[in-house]
Structure 1
Amino acid sequence: MDPKRIIKKVAVLGSGVMGSRIACHFANIGLQVLLLDIVPKDAANNPASRNKLVNEALNAALKSNPSPIYLKAFANRIITGNFEDDLSKIADCDWIIEVVVERLDIKQKVFENVEKFRRQGTLVTSNTSGIPIHLMAEGRSEDFKKHFCGSHFFNPPRYLKLLEIIPTKDTLPEVVKFLLNYGEKYLGKTTVLAKDTPAFIGNRIGVFSIMSILHYAEKTGMSIEEIDKLTGPVIGHPKSATFRTSDVVGIDTMVHVANGLSQNVPDDEAKALFQIPDFVNKMVANNWLGSKTKQGFYKKEKVNGADAFYTLDLKSLEYQPAQKVKFPSLETTKTVDNLKDRMNILFAAKDKAGDFYRTIFYQLFAYSSNRIPEISDEIYKIDAAMNAGFGWETGPFEKWDALGLETTVKQMETAGYPPAKWVYKMLQSGVTSFYKVEDGKRLYYDISSKTYQVIPGTEDFILLDNIRSTNTIWKNSGTTIIDLGDGILNLEFHTKMNTIGSEVIEGINKAITIAEQNYKGLVISNEGTNFSAGANVGMIFMAAVEQEFDELNMIIKAFQNTMMRIRYSSIPVVAAPHQMALGGGCELCLHADKVVAHAELYMGLVEFGVGLIPGGGGTKEFALRLSDELQSGDIELNTFRDKFLTIGQAKVSTSADEAFDLGYLKKGRDMVVISRNRLLSEAKKQCLMMAEEGYVQPVQRKDIRVLGNQALGLGYAGANAMFSGNYISEHDVKISQKLAYVLAGGNLSQPTLVSEEYLLNLERDAFVSLCAERKTLERIQSILTGGKILRN
């Protein structure tokens, strides 16, 4: 990476769906952004309307859900303008990204104008998804060509991690290296070096996969419900699976890309699969394009005031009520959590599902192997593109490894889908897997050198999957303690949704004990889909139903004591949350010495939704933080109200930045990491730094100022007003009153200094008493049986 090149300001040319959202993501990481678009035809002579198009596009993006921006205030980093009045401002920009309409002539005209104002050495990239990169640079200066390449973001840019970097023969190697590093480290992307071939890597393989499934459905008569059941989470793919993904992307978009591939890859052995099936052509003719037209493969309608879901019968092209489907093989994998084990069971199945998987995966493996070296010289780039761009847990070559390379090749031959010749040469040399792990690093088989190599750019990552087998020092059914080196341990959860039950409580205490005896510090992190969905409410429900309130009291006290041990251990404890950190998972973070959070963090104390208040120290911690923030007079009650509403409304952050505003993260203490791959290494670094700078064991607080009756009255009055307005139920009022009682420190006549232990006792009493309420049990049961919040 060029140490002299610094990106401070970015220009985004084109404010459509992609352009406006790319601008938002650059604003997310703290950059100034100049967002430009054309002047509307009807506003040429109206100065007030010349930026109408770009402003409306940006406003639409900011109002969209999910949001493209971490925090609404970050939108202030974006300045809008138009190509006629403001293009000269790109002279101040360090990176210019073109995101205009997908027409070569228009892009070439834009770049011709860009060159009139661009500073020498400024990066220029195009976000095209299909136009050859080298054609866009024709006629440009030598300096322009040296600093120009493709930078293909996937939509939505904030959430989908793939960023393909596509150089031309003129692009400087240092420019490519810079963009690959910048995309990963600062934009949080999986940056993949792609060749200037049709659809690059992600869409070439992804569209092939979708089209092969569409043709299979046409040939076999399998229904939309059946295929989406088989191509979703059960094989490590997103819930949207195949047909729902097509609806979201837009069926016309899918057809456009597939047609482009059909025309531009004349020598592709699977060219026939890029031909559009008849049922898809008829859907396009009917303007059934998916989500954008409110109907595609799926359709939702209101029936008697309720949502009714329909799917398209691919033969009759008539909509019918969506059906639940079952496969015998899928039933046998319900208790199999390991994806590799699950895939082997499904692949060997003798039912319709097994036939589907074998055909689709044989085709995918053969096609992917034949794309080397056409679209990539290395296998890991294809896997990385599919994982980051399409949300697959494992890419084609990783799937192939999981099923057994040697065995699967023989099966592919028998089925008529032989792989590329290099695969046979690899097997003949005695190599029987595409990947392996050595010394904590993941290696891939490099075809050109016929050796295993470390995946470039991963040298600084600490990935638990790579070190778990060699560095585990203790484990139980729900946790694993792993030595990260340099005197730092990591505690990993691996319960369902990483919920916190007795086994996790045991693991936390064991990890702290071991760390206090022989190590410098402890990190709590994992590589699951979510950091933690909270406490094991099933365990709480069972104790409450059996009216084992003494036992329940002990369970909650053990949870509280464990959280307090995290806070007051003799070694630093750093939490590294990502995605969901709810309820008990949030409480754990509240008690850590430091939180190193991934930018995509959905954190909150959500116990109110199941008829409870935070009982693992969360309410106590909010009272403590309230005390530290209090100022005299009315501001005290305003601060109390804010804390009360955060818990009472079960507010969940939509990003790590918002978690600071909600009070879950502490400014000046906690930090945000954009790159998910760097989260654990940064957490270890921070933990080691705290230890080596002379960590001092904290002393339990006894100086927490609570407001007593004046705050309690505010909480009660607010809850009653909400009830009178029919905003909350009578049971919500009861929960609100319990919450206010704990936050206020109880029925005290005046502000008083209390201890943490005092507040924990109030919190636990309130929690256990609410567990005795029938309506709370109904709420917990609703979550456990249907995953739905009941407002009774």
Structure 2
Amino acid sequence: MTDIKTVAVLGAGVMGAGIAAHAANAGARVLLLDIVPKGASSRNALAEGAVARMLKADPAPFMGKAAAKNITCGNLEDDLSALAEADWIIEAVIERPDIKRALYEKVEAVRKDGSVVSSNTSTLPLATLIEGLPERFARDFLIAHFFNPPRYMRLLELVTGPKTRSEAAASVEHFADHHLGKSVVHCKDTPSFIANRLGVFWSQSAVVEAFERGLDIEDVDAIIGRPMGVPKTGVFGLLDLVGLDLIPHVNASLADSLPKGDPFHTINRPVPLIGDLIADGYTGRKGKGGFYRLNRAGGSKVKEAIDLTSGLFRPARKADVPAVKESGKDLRALLSHDSPHGAYAWAVMGPTLAYAASLVGVVADDIVAIDEAMRLGYAWKQGPFELIDRIGADWLAERLAADGHPVPEILKTAAGRTFYRVDAGQLEYLGLDGAYHPVERPEGVLLLEDVKRAAKPVLRNGSAALWDIGDGVACFEFTSKMNSMDPDIMDLLGKAIRRVKRDFKALVIHNEGTNFSVGANLGLALFAANIAAWSEIESLVEQGQETYRALRTAPFPVVAAPSGMALGGGCEIVLHCDAVQAHAETYIGLVECGVGLVPAWGGCTEMLHRWSTLGRLPKGPMPAAATVFETISTATVAKSAAEAKERLFLRPHDGITMNRARLLADAKARALAMVEGYTPPGPREIVLPGPSGRTAMGMAVQGFRKTGKATPYDEIVAGALAAVLSGGDDADVLAPVGEDTLLELERTHFMRLVRTPGTLARVESMLMTGKPLRN
């Protein structure tokens, strides 16, 4: 197996450039090549321009701007010889086999022995791509299909041919898994592989049925979205995101490549309105809009939605779908609902689930690969076979037969059973042979969901649980809504610390939710404030401070393993751990000022200590305080784990795991490595600037307010933050401030702010709209 260290990407379009950026995120040396454009001042203009655009893009392809330095730009005329240094050569040019094969001939002439060549194609068969090429090339060639955007989409579809060396496939799979953070799904060499084969069928069905039934797109997205575990964009919002102009090309490609009897042909009907929208520049979010648009006429922004019957835009409205409300979480009830909306839900999902069932053994060997592809490629919360288990395979088969649809064989095989089951704590799936087989995890993957199937919690309450994950390590899991921090979490964490001290060697804090924690439960805080239960609020602040300090000073190693958002109180618990093993896509920050508060569970104290001891700043008490003030007052959130290191939410010695599925195992290993000779950290003392520093920070905010960058209430909140970070009125640059004093300052100014109408208005706005109030 080749150790991939240098990656070459041929083609600097959206996908090629995104793949190059993510390989650079992984620390690889990357060569990005494209054609020499006519009349350009630089022969490398296409590659250079792609990198420049990505450095400004949002969402960012780079996890940190430093990653861009790993890319060397070139062109396909002058720099082909440099491919001799590449371990993996990725082709991402136009979807024409003649152009691709001509490029492969040039690549074959210069590449080194054992280098792997892959195509990012999503439509062309591998056999077509290698036609007429040497045996040596065929042995090292495969298809590695990334999904857009490559940094964020976790799926990689891998297709090998009969001549592909197993070592070549293993090299790419290992690099993609460990370094790019991908879940690699092995696909058969069939049209559009797995995710797009099924995903395009689903989206085309949803669009055609909506047009022919004359439904409103807001209602359609409400039906197809959350009730079915699909992102809230639904289908029309999703198509706006990926681009309407792709629809005709993708559909045409599938229509040309699929056999005549494939069900896709029955729903691949023309939709003239889509052609009209594309012709008018409505290609989705990258254009003037798509099915939805923002009308900026008159200086205001009004969201509009297109009427599928008239083809005219109208003000968008909130979806009103009684079938969804009445069905709740019962998917079968929605599909059976006696209404036009219920009939639509069945007309889309019934054939889609049947199509998925018909593809087992055709596009992949088992249902697990198909479910994984749809979860990761289309962000479905559950794959099609998991959805079938929700509604019942027998019910689906009966409904399909009643409607005159053929019933796939695997549905008949599943009669009276489910596609997935748990036997003796082991998750199993139903195979084509009618037997159940264990769902195998890659070596080195430890999932908390698997632990939970096979064991009972050591401790549990309504908001958290403590699990034994083996080898003397315990895992503390948040289970509250959105993993928000509340008194129950604090109570169980205190008990967990005592239990781990008695029965375990180390503790990992981790969960497998979408987000690690969105912070404190603001609903509880607002309720307490509305009934003037100030002592209850202060008690929660004190409880949090005491619990987090007990965590930091525990006589055993504590490792946080966050992923997704770790905000406010969720960030503070990470700050108090001995070490952090963070997923690369961890978005961490202290955002309390956005809701009119200051961090009060030790966040200010910990950040001051880090910038005082680890920050590369000029000497003296003011630089650290000023840096922390800027970070917290602006509610700055690091947009990757790499950026979190730059902002010291993570320290230089903290680890980053690219593949989320490997996060818990990496964190456990990190904790075990710290056990021998472990000594907890001691008390903190920090030199702070005192009243003069507070004044300086206040003057900075006044300047922002005069230029309109800060609101009147921002100035009040920032003043409270400055009072904490300066060390209080008694701080003296000759006498370090202890952590007890800093925690008292955090608590005092938090309680002053929480009593003010301005803060309560911000908290209420965040709860109601999810957006900060600029009062």
Q: Which TM-score bucket, shorter chain as reference?
A: over 0.9
1:390 deviation in Å?
0.6
Identify the residue that residue 409 of structure 1 maps to in structure 2. Answer: 397
Equivalent of 1:711, from 693, 713, 719? 693
1:781 deviation in Å?
1.2
1:604 deviation in Å?
0.3
User: TM-score, with normalisation over the residues of structure 1?
Assistant: 0.94
Identify the residue that residue 86 of structure 2 maps to in structure 1. Answer: 93
Equivalent of 1:514, from 491, 499, 503? 499
Equivalent of 1:673, from 657, 661, 667? 657
Aligned partners of 1:532 and 1:769: how far apart in 2? 25
1:320 deviation in Å?
1.4
1:634 deviation in Å?
5.5
1:372 deviation in Å?
2.5
Letter in 2 for 1:11: A
Q: Which runs of 5+ in 2 are unaligned?
A: none
Q: Deviations over 1:248-286 (max 9, x none)?
A: 212221221111111221231342212333433444454
* Secondary structure, counterpart of 1:33 in structure 2: strand
Letter in 2 for 1:9: T
Aligned partners of 2:470 and 2:612: how far apart in 1? 38
Contact 1:623 1:744 in 2 (8 A): no
Contact 1:251 1:296 in 2 (8 A): yes
Tell me, yes or no, if structure 1 residue 683 matches structure 2 residue 667: yes
Aligned partners of 2:359 and 2:141: how far apart in 1? 25
Structure 1's 291 and 716: CA in aligned 2 closer, same or farther, altered over 3 A?
closer
Tell me, yes or no, if structure 1 residue 497 matches structure 2 residue 482: yes
| More divergent stretch after superposition (544-553 vs 249-258) | 544-553
Identify the residue that residue 338 of structure 1 maps to in structure 2. Answer: none
Tell me, yes or no, if structure 1 residue 385 matches structure 2 residue 376: no
Letter in 1 for 2:456: N
1:36 deviation in Å?
0.4
Tell me, yes or no, if structure 1 residue 299 matches structure 2 residue 293: yes
Q: Deviations over 1:516-549 (max 9, x none)?
A: 2212222111111111000011222222333332
* Secondary structure, counterpart of 1:49 in structure 2: coil
Identify the residue that residue 274 of structure 1 maps to in structure 2. Answer: 268
Contact 1:279 1:315 in 2 (8 A): no
Identify the residue that residue 677 of structure 2 maps to in structure 1. Answer: 694
Letter in 2 for 1:147: D
| More divergent stretch after superposition (114-123 vs 417-426) | 417-426
1:630 deviation in Å?
7.2
| More divergent stretch after superposition (343-352 vs 400-409) | 343-352
Aligned partners of 2:116 and 2:426: how far apart in 1? 33
Tell me, yes or no, if structure 1 residue 775 matches structure 2 residue 772: no
Identify the residue that residue 30 of structure 1 maps to in structure 2. Answer: 27
Aligned partners of 1:269 and 1:709: how far apart in 2? 74
Tell me, yes or no, if structure 1 residue 185 matches structure 2 residue 178: yes
1:440 deviation in Å?
4.9
1:100 deviation in Å?
0.9
Identify the residue that residue 337 of structure 1 maps to in structure 2. Answer: none
Structure 1's 742 and 751: CA in aligned 2 closer, same or farther, altered over 3 A?
farther
Letter in 1 for 2:658: I
Q: Deviations over 1:42-77 (max 9, x none)?
A: 24xxxx521112211221122111000100011000
Identify the residue that residue 639 of structure 1 maps to in structure 2. Answer: 624
1:507 deviation in Å?
2.2
Contact 2:687 2:733 in 1 (8 A): no
* Secondary structure, counterpart of 1:715 in structure 2: helix
Structure 1's 199 and 605: CA in aligned 2 closer, same or farther, altered over 3 A?
same
Letter in 2 for 1:455: V
Contact 1:707 1:752 in 2 (8 A): no
Structure 1 stretches of at least 4 aligned residues deviating more than 6 Å after TM superposition:
630-633
1:660 deviation in Å?
0.7
Aligned partners of 1:634 and 1:459: how far apart in 2? 48
Tell me, yes or no, if structure 1 residue 618 matches structure 2 residue 603: yes
Aligned partners of 2:560 and 2:615: how far apart in 1? 26
1:230 deviation in Å?
1.2
1:591 deviation in Å?
0.4
Letter in 2 for 1:253: L
Q: Deviations over 1:556-613 (max 9, x none)?
A: 1011111111111222221111110000000000001111110001100000101111
Identify the residue that residue 445 of structure 1 maps to in structure 2. Answer: 430
Tell me, yes or no, if structure 1 residue 424 matches structure 2 residue 406: no
Identify the residue that residue 528 of structure 1 maps to in structure 2. Answer: 513
Tell me, yes or no, if structure 1 residue 200 matches structure 2 residue 193: yes
1:298 deviation in Å?
1.4
Q: Which runs of 5+ in 1 are unaligned?
A: 335-340
Structure 1's 87 and 385: CA in aligned 2 closer, same or farther, altered over 3 A?
same
Equivalent of 2:245, from 249, 252, 260? 252
Letter in 2 for 1:741: A
Tell me, yes or no, if structure 1 residue 565 matches structure 2 residue 550: yes
Contact 1:460 1:678 in 2 (8 A): yes
Contact 1:133 1:150 in 2 (8 A): yes
| More divergent stretch after superposition (459-468 vs 556-565) | 459-468
Structure 1's 632 and 538: CA in aligned 2 closer, same or farther, altered over 3 A?
closer
Equivalent of 1:750, from 714, 733, 743? 733
Contact 1:578 1:598 in 2 (8 A): yes
1:649 deviation in Å?
0.9
Aligned partners of 2:125 and 2:772: how far apart in 1? 50
Structure 1's 588 and 345: CA in aligned 2 closer, same or farther, altered over 3 A?
farther
1:625 deviation in Å?
2.1
Q: Deviations over 1:150-173 (max 9, x none)?
A: 111011000111111111221112
Contact 1:17 1:61 in 2 (8 A): no
1:27 deviation in Å?
0.3
Identify the residue that residue 578 of structure 1 maps to in structure 2. Answer: 563
1:631 deviation in Å?
8.4
Identify the residue that residue 215 of structure 1 maps to in structure 2. Answer: 208
| More divergent stretch after superposition (265-274 vs 115-124) | 265-274
Aligned partners of 1:661 and 1:191: how far apart in 2? 30
Contact 1:259 1:276 in 2 (8 A): no
* Secondary structure, counterpart of 2:459 in structure 1: strand
Contact 2:4 2:175 in 1 (8 A): no
Contact 1:742 1:763 in 2 (8 A): yes
Tell me, yes or no, if structure 1 residue 741 matches structure 2 residue 723: yes
* Secondary structure, counterpart of 1:485 in structure 2: coil
- What is the RMSD of the two structures over their aligned residues, measured on CA atoms? 2.0
| More divergent stretch after superposition (526-535 vs 780-789) | 780-789
Contact 1:248 1:291 in 2 (8 A): yes
Q: Deviations over 1:77-109 (max 9, x none)?
A: 000001111111010110000011111111111
Identify the residue that residue 461 of structure 1 maps to in structure 2. Answer: 445
Q: Deviations over 1:450-477 (max 9, x none)?
A: 4333334435322222232433233211
Contact 1:55 1:80 in 2 (8 A): yes
Tell me, yes or no, if structure 1 residue 662 matches structure 2 residue 659: no
Structure 1's 113 and 562: CA in aligned 2 closer, same or farther, altered over 3 A?
same
Identify the residue that residue 653 of structure 1 maps to in structure 2. Answer: 638
Q: Deviations over 1:278-334 (max 9, x none)?
A: 433444454532223313211211143221111111121111111222222433466
* Secondary structure, counterpart of 2:190 in structure 1: coil
Tell me, yes or no, if structure 1 residue 163 matches structure 2 residue 160: no
Contact 2:394 2:411 in 1 (8 A): no
Equivalent of 1:726, from 708, 714, 732? 708
| Percent of paired sites with the same residue | 38
Q: Deviations over 1:480-500 (max 9, x none)?
A: 222212222212112221110
Contact 1:627 1:706 in 2 (8 A): no
1:623 deviation in Å?
2.2
User: TM-score, with normalisation over the residues of structure 2?
Assistant: 0.96
Contact 2:123 2:254 in 1 (8 A): no
Q: Deviations over 1:672-725 (max 9, x none)?
A: 00001111111122222222x232233333x33223234223212222222333
Aligned partners of 2:451 and 2:441: how far apart in 1? 18
- Pairwise mapping of residues 546-557 of structure 1 onto structure 2 (< 5 A)? 546-557=531-542
Letter in 2 for 1:436: R
* Secondary structure, counterpart of 1:706 in structure 2: coil
Aligned partners of 1:107 and 1:38: how far apart in 2? 13
Letter in 1 for 2:722: A
